[in-house]
Amino acid sequence: MSEYTGYIGRSLEFLKLNDLVVGDSVKILSDLTFSGIIMPRYEHSDDKHVVLKLNSGYNVGLEIDKIENVEKLSTAEKNVEKIQKLETNPSLPKILLLSTGGTIASKVDYRTGAVTPILTAEELNSSVPELARIANIDTEVLFSEYSENIMPDHWLKIAKKLEGYSNSDYSGIIIAHGTDTMHYTSSFLSFSLSGYPIPIALVGSQRSSDRASSDAALNLIGATKFLVESKTKGIYVIMHYDESDEIIACHFGTRVRKNHTSKRNAFQTVGDSPAYLIFNNNIQKNTREKFFKTKVFSPKIHLDTKVALIKYYPGFDSKIIEKIIEMGYKAIIFEGTGLGHIGKTMYESIKKAHENGIFLGMTSQCIEGRVRMTVYESGRDLLNLGIIPLENMIPEVALVKTMWAVANSRDNEDLKKIMLENISSEISY
């Protein structure tokens, strides 16, 4: 990282004029007096401010024109972290942690504010020492991507890596993942690795590890405890249950979505309680599902991204459907209103899509409830046009399942059968 990362123009001149670099500890007199560490800035930021990390852990931007005096307290030093060699405990089970990026798999250099990936078991143990008392943890970095940059090709890489560990002696596997698209990844793994012989937990954090309210450590501790004690199978998303630090929730990978931008309990099971809760060192089972334990592992690691997710709204231009047909898409998942409706202005385009052999599935924009297209005349019209109701499948899950099903089906009839089969709890009853 550059000693002036993110600083340009006037802000860069200010640092050089005052013999300052990122990581220096300073006292600045402005409208108030601020003491802290000069932080790197976002690369497209303006050139009118410098950013300090205060002793409280919060960052503050200070306008250069309002700074009356600046005093350097200490110079940035390279932090050479002493990491104790981690010795395995033969009496404990083994866990594998695969890192894909995101806040959960990072640590913060408090001198510079730089976020760097946790690469080794020793570093992980140094950050969350409680884990070493629960299991022996091996680590491996698959890639380091922000969640929004995780693409279907990444899903395939994760699934193939997991397939290679299906006969290992691990009690479970943690996938450290950014939160924004974690439920897409968990959905694909749920379908492509159905029946996987040990539990898999996708774990993220909503708050970075340099904040007192960070959920990273507790989510990891809860996931590790769940993997070694639950004696179950399946793909789970494991995050905070509420804003407190007392309960961790284990959600089925196909029944969960991120419902808040920043709360620690952003992830919620849709239409039911989480499959498991971890509190007071106990694991409470809430699920009635039994097929995870008996299902035979038969990996099908294929997908086809020629699937569209269309959110209907008043004024939707049906020419978009026409364009999707022209582009050679093989399926469309509609996110309809209420019980599964879209406007009649789209009927001709839908009819054309059906005649072109495109699979058409219906989900609802409503968070709770089930698609029921037989209740109203408009719904029955859509059924006659070839749209298949997808019960209470979450729209994003339906999208991912269709990508997977298109690549693993022989024809449209087989595709329809797969989409209506409850493969990994994506349909709840």
Give the long-range contacts of residues 383-386, CB within 8 A, separation 24 or more: 385/347, 385/350, 385/351, 385/354, 385/360, 386/350, 386/351, 386/354, 386/360
Separation between Cα atoms, residue 236 and residue 428, nearest integer Å: 15
Determine the residue type at 148. E
In contact, 101 and 146? CB cutoff 8 Å: yes
List active site positions: 103, 179-180, 258
In contact, 358 and 328? CB cutoff 8 Å: no
Q: Is 195 left (phi over 0), alpha (psi -120 to 50) or beta?
A: left
CB-based contacts of 286: which residues, under 8 Å, 6+ apart? 272, 273, 274, 275, 276, 277
Token look-up 């930021």 returns 45
Q: Residues for the chain: how many in total?
A: 429
CB-based contacts of 357: which residues, under 8 Å, 6+ apart? 330, 412
Tell me how many helices (H) and strands (E) the chain has: 11, 21
For the residues of 6-48, what is the DSSP string, one character each?
T--HHHHHHHHHTT--TT-EEEEESSSEEEEEEPP--TT--SS
In contact, 115 and 215? CB cutoff 8 Å: no
Phi, psi of 134 (to 5 degrees): -105, -40
Phi, psi of 15 (to 5 degrees): -60, -45
Separation between Cα atoms, residue 288 and residue 216, nearest integer Å: 29
Token look-up 């972290």 returns 81
Separation between Cα atoms, residue 205 and residue 7, nearest integer Å: 28
